Each structure stands twice: as C-alpha cells, then as structure tokens.
Amino acid sequence: MESISLQLTALFLVTIILVMFVKKTKMVFDTDRVFFCLLISVLVSILLDISVSNFVELGTAGNSGLFSKLYLWSLLGLTYIVSLYTVKIVERKVQFNDSWLYFVMAIPALVIGLIGLLTNAKIVPIGLGFFSGWYVNMIVVCLFVYCFVCLFFISRYREKITQGYYASGIVFYLLLCISLSIQLVLKEYAILSIGVAISILYMYMEMENPDDYLDHASGALNDYAFSEWGRDALRRREGVRLIIISLPDVGYIKNRLGNKVFEQYIRTVFLSMKELRVGKIFRLDSGEFVLASKSSETEEYIHKKLVMVFQELHTEFTSMSSDVIRYGSVQSFGDYENMQSFADDLWFFLQYLREQSTEELLVLNDEIVRQRTNEDYIVASLQDAIVNKRVMVYYQPIYSVKEQRFTTTEALIRIKDLEGNFMNPEIFIPIAERRGLILTLGDIVFHNVCRFVQEQKLMEKGFHYVEVNLSTVQCMQDNLSAQLVSIMNQYEIEPGFINLEITETAAVQSDKVLLENMEKMRELGVTFSLDDYGSGYSNLDYVINMPFRLVKIDKTLVWDSVKKKKSKILLETSISMFSKMNLQIVAEGVETAEQATYLEDLGVDYLQGYYFSKPVCEADFLAVLRKNGIV
C-alpha cells in the first residue's frame, strides 16, 4: 500500500475517535482532558507526517528540515502526553500529590527539543517514511525510554489499577514500540502514523469508554463516575457545590407502573435537569440524583428552577403519590479531606432527606453532621451490646378485660449505650434497620423471649401468649418463618404461645413475602397483631388480606381521642368496625383509670399501658405475675 494511504487511514481513524470522544465524553475527569490533548497531538503529528513525507520536504536531503523537525517534535510531545495520561490514570487510584512529577517527566522531551533548536542537527530523509541522522536516533531512543518507563510504571502499580487498565496499558505501549521498530526497519513505508492511530483506538476503546461512567436507564453519569469525579475534584480543591434531588416513591412507581415506565420517568427527570445547564448530573441510587455545579447561580436559584420543572413532571408520572421531592444542598463539599469522609456524611444526609416531607432546600450543616456522629455512637453501642450480650428484653403486662387479669405481655427490647444509659427504641430501631443490625437484634430478642418462656414455664400457668415485635426488615426476609420456627423448636415453645406484631409500614412494604411467611406460621398456630393502628395512614386492605387476629390501637390515637373530636370518632368507629370483623382489639398507652374505663366501655378486649404497668425486667415481671397469682 502507498504510504499516503496508510497515513490518510490514520488521519481518518483519529478524526473519528476525536469526534466520538467529544460527542460522548463529558470531560468529568482530568484524564478526559489529557486524552483530548493526546488526540489533538496525534492529529497534528499525522498531519505533519503527511506533509513532510509527501509534499513539503520530500527528497530534499540536506535542507534545514524545519517541518521534519516539527514532525519529530510532535512525536516527542505526544509520547510525553501519553505518559502523562498513564500517570493520571494510575493517580485515580493512588494518591501521589506530586505535581512536580508532571514536569520531571517533561524534562527529557524538552531537553531534546532544545538541542534540536540550538544545534544544526541534520535530518536526512530516507525513502518516504523516515529520517536518519544522530538527532533522529536521539529522539527514537527517547521515545523508547518513555515507553519502557511507562511500562515499568504501570507494572509497579499493577495491583492498584483495574485489570482492564493494566492490560490495555501494556498492549498500548507494546503496539507503540512495535510500530516504532517496524518503522526503523522498513524505512520505505510511513507506518508509524497508522501504528499510533491503532494504539490510540485501542486505548480509547479500553480506557476512555464513556459507557463505564454512564447510567443507562437515565443517561446521567453513574455512582462510579461520581466517586471518581469527587476524588478528582477534591484533589484539585475545586469550589463545587452539590445539589441532591431525592425522588418520591421510586419503589411505588417501579412496582405499580412497571420497569419501563419507571425508566421513562428517570430519563425524563434527567433530561429536564439537563436543560437547566447548571452542572454535571449523577444518578446515585434508584431515585437520587446529584447535580454538581460550578455555575455562578446560587443553590436557591437552581432549587427554585428544579421545583418548577418537577412540579410538571411529578403530576405526569406520579399523580397517585402524595409524597414530595426532597432537595438537599452541600456547600461544604470542598472542605472534605477525601471522598471517603464525604461519602459517610452524604449517605447519612440522603437518609435524612428521605425522612423529611418538605420541598424546601435543606442544607447539610453541622447539626446534621453531629447527628451522624450521634448515630455512629448509637451503632457502636448496639454493636457492643450484641458482642457483649447486653441486649435485654423487658415485658409489659397486658390486661384482659374479659378475664380481669394479665393474660399476655409485650416483649420490648432494651439496650444501654456505652455510658450505661438506656437508649430509646424508637430512635435506635430505625438506626439498626438502616445499618444492618436489626436482624441480629430481632434474633436475640426472639431467643431471649423463648428462653424466658421455657425457663419460667409460662405456657403452663394460664398465661395466653407473648407478643413480639417484628421489624419491617425482618418481614422482608424469605426465611423469616423458618428462622422463627427453628428457634421455637429449640426451646420447645408452642407456636400458639407466640403472637407477632407487625406494623402497617411493614405490611405495606413487603406484602407478598410477608404474606407467605405469615401463612406458614399461621398454619402452625402463631397469631398476628396489626401494630400501631392509627399512628399513620391506614390502608385497610391489609386488615382484610392478612391473617391478623388482633389489632393494636396506637397510643397516639388513644391519647388524641381525648383531645380531638375527630380522633374520638376514628377511635370509636374503628373499634366497632374491628369487632364486627371478629378482630380482637388491644389499646396501647392506657395511663389513667378514666382511659381504662372509657376503652373498656367501647368494647376493647385488652388494655396495655403505664396505668397497669410499665415495661419491666424479667424479675420484676415475674413479681407482677406472682402478685396476680399467676406464677
């Protein structure tokens, strides 16, 4: 093949790569910018190659060879940029923090360039493809040295970079060395440009593939891109601000409307955000986006725009949901030491946002960071309690109106923090759920209850059953019933002696898995209570479809019924409705004699509250039973 065809092919190839790169890549990383410079330098070098070997100085041996020198310098330049790219790729994984390294690396190329400028180095063209002369040899040696040093460099950090990066780095430099060597042997053919172009194509496909950083469902950058970008931004100490958008009810849309509609929704969200043109957009979790902005617009301004955009979208896609979109802002991003310490706060902030029900822009401030630290303390206390067997169970006796005595009890978890103070279950249970400790705690509680029932022979003493709380997370486990049944067997507990309390939230979130588990246990004799009735929204579907035997009216509804007329109506109507459904009713939070009489008159079957007894430790609970003639 004619040399010019090879060179033109190379030109064509690199131009295509450049167009694809510019079109697809979002210039998120330092390496993107360096790769862009690399493509430009390769293009310049190919153009010089074409002009030198075909038009400008063809065969004019002995001239000053300015264009030939320019061509050789462009080779030096591009080799330097390639090595810079290599260092930057490794740097994403290994912190060097030595910007002087970039300059040291440039020294050989600069020195050789200078020598060419200052001396009257002769460049003699050989055939169409290459040159000879001592200066040319010097450059060739320098190119090889760059390649070998880079090969050594990536091998040195082999463990740190990904397998793909390592392999493609090796192949790239080998391709470069081979085409350089062939060029030196086959001086007649201008093979070098096509060799470089192919190496670059390979590198583009392996390392700069923008797909690795894309979230395909939405079109935004993915969470991997976010962590890599964040690392880069923190190292450069860039003043970026982050705005977090947390969509409502993602699970709902996904479950009810199907994955296709969900992806359409996510994509529309992304496109609408993109139209604002205020920064890079990342999608972290299924419903969480981060907008990284360097623009001069304030967060408040961007927030207002987002609210406007989403108001339309929201009605289109999630008209059935009453939930809101939450917005958070992180202004202090630049102050973080590294991505790890930021990730901890960000993660907590996301949880925090999900629990809010406002469209206001919430700022990640010291108070929230303090809460996170506090949460870490609670987690440490929980872990310590688990390891050192400090998890306790207290029992609150429950009064049967019919039998006029305590016939059942609710088991309630109790844990002291590291300083020995009791922690509030309403605070630590949700934390244990978030931080993956609830299954262990649930297990410990259930073991504890079964052991206590067996030790005290509660089943043989006219006591009806013990109520044990199940967390939402427990209810989502496929093997829930197998697990509980095996513990009951271990302590020889009659399944009928266990009543499991399931909250509405749990019933809503895991209907199918939970229902199957409930059926299995119900067949064995376990009974179920719907817990916390009246504390939130009530979807009575679950009362109908799930095999509950009891409904526990939450203490808030009991208390509100004294103060608010509507609550009183709700309470009274609910009681009469549940009675008609043959469900037994437990009222929680009974604190006064008046409340007790009032609820009794309404037809409540069981009363639970401080008026009768607070939750107490095993020994005190036994004392209460003894006083009542039960044990």
Residue 172: both structure tokens together: 């790239």
| Rounded least distance, CB 88 to ligand C2E, Å | 49
Residue 596 binds what, of ligand C2E, Ca ion, none (CB under 5 to 8 Å, by partner type)?
A: none
* CB of 476 closer than 8 Å to CB of 510: yes
Instruction: Please spell the DSSP secondary structure of 266-290, one letter per residue.
Output: HHHHHHHHHHT--SEEEEEETTEEE
43 three-class SS: helix
Residue 589 binds what, of ligand C2E, Ca ion, none (CB under 5 to 8 Å, by partner type)?
A: ligand C2E
| Rounded least distance, CB 363 to Ca ion, Å | 33
**Cβ contacts of 91 within 8 Å, gap of 6 or more:** 30
Q: Which is nearer to Ca ion, 161 or 596 (CB)?
A: 596
Q: Which is nearer to Ca ion, 213 or 497 (CB)?
A: 497
Q: Which is nearer to ligand C2E, 46 or 429 (CB)?
A: 429
Residue 600 binds what, of Ca ion, ligand C2E, none (CB under 5 to 8 Å, by partner type)?
A: none
- The contacts found for 208-217 with CB under 8 angstroms, 24 or more apart, are 208/21, 208/25, 208/31, 208/32, 208/35, 210/24, 210/25, 210/26, 213/26, 213/28, 215/282, 215/283, 217/263, 217/266, 217/267, 217/283
| Rounded least distance, CB 331 to ligand C2E, Å | 36
Residue 445 binds what, of ligand C2E, Ca ion, none (CB under 5 to 8 Å, by partner type)?
A: ligand C2E
| Rounded least distance, CB 442 to ligand C2E, Å | 6
Q: Which is nearer to ligand C2E, 122 or 447 (CB)?
A: 447
Q: Which is nearer to Ca ion, 217 or 392 (CB)?
A: 392
Residue 610 binds what, of ligand C2E, Ca ion, none (CB under 5 to 8 Å, by partner type)?
A: ligand C2E
Q: Which is nearer to Ca ion, 78 or 411 (CB)?
A: 411
| Rounded least distance, CB 393 to Ca ion, Å | 13
Residue 175 binds what, of Ca ion, ligand C2E, none (CB under 5 to 8 Å, by partner type)?
A: none
| Rounded least distance, CB 438 to ligand C2E, Å | 7
Phi, psi of 457 (to 5 degrees): 50, 45
345 three-class SS: helix
Interface ranges with ligand C2E (CB under 6 A) = 396, 412-413, 425-426, 429, 442, 445, 469-471, 501, 531-532, 555, 588-591, 608-610, 615
* CB of 84 closer than 8 Å to CB of 34: yes
Interface ranges with Ca ion (CB under 5 A) = 469, 501, 531-532, 554
**Cβ contacts of 192 within 8 Å, gap of 6 or more:** 49, 75, 129, 130, 179, 180, 183
361 three-class SS: strand
Neighbours of 502 (CB within 10 A): 25
In whole angstroms, give the CA distance from residue 134 to residue 57: 19
**Cβ contacts of 237 within 8 Å, gap of 6 or more:** 334
Residue 425 binds what, of Ca ion, ligand C2E, none (CB under 5 to 8 Å, by partner type)?
A: ligand C2E
Residue 385 binds what, of Ca ion, ligand C2E, none (CB under 5 to 8 Å, by partner type)?
A: none
Q: Which is nearer to ligand C2E, 21 or 394 (CB)?
A: 394
| Rounded least distance, CB 569 to ligand C2E, Å | 22
Q: Kindly give the pairing relationship between strand 326-330 and strand 361-363.
A: parallel
| Rounded least distance, CB 400 to ligand C2E, Å | 16
Question: DSSP assignment, residue 393?
Answer: E
Q: Which is nearer to ligand C2E, 65 or 534 (CB)?
A: 534
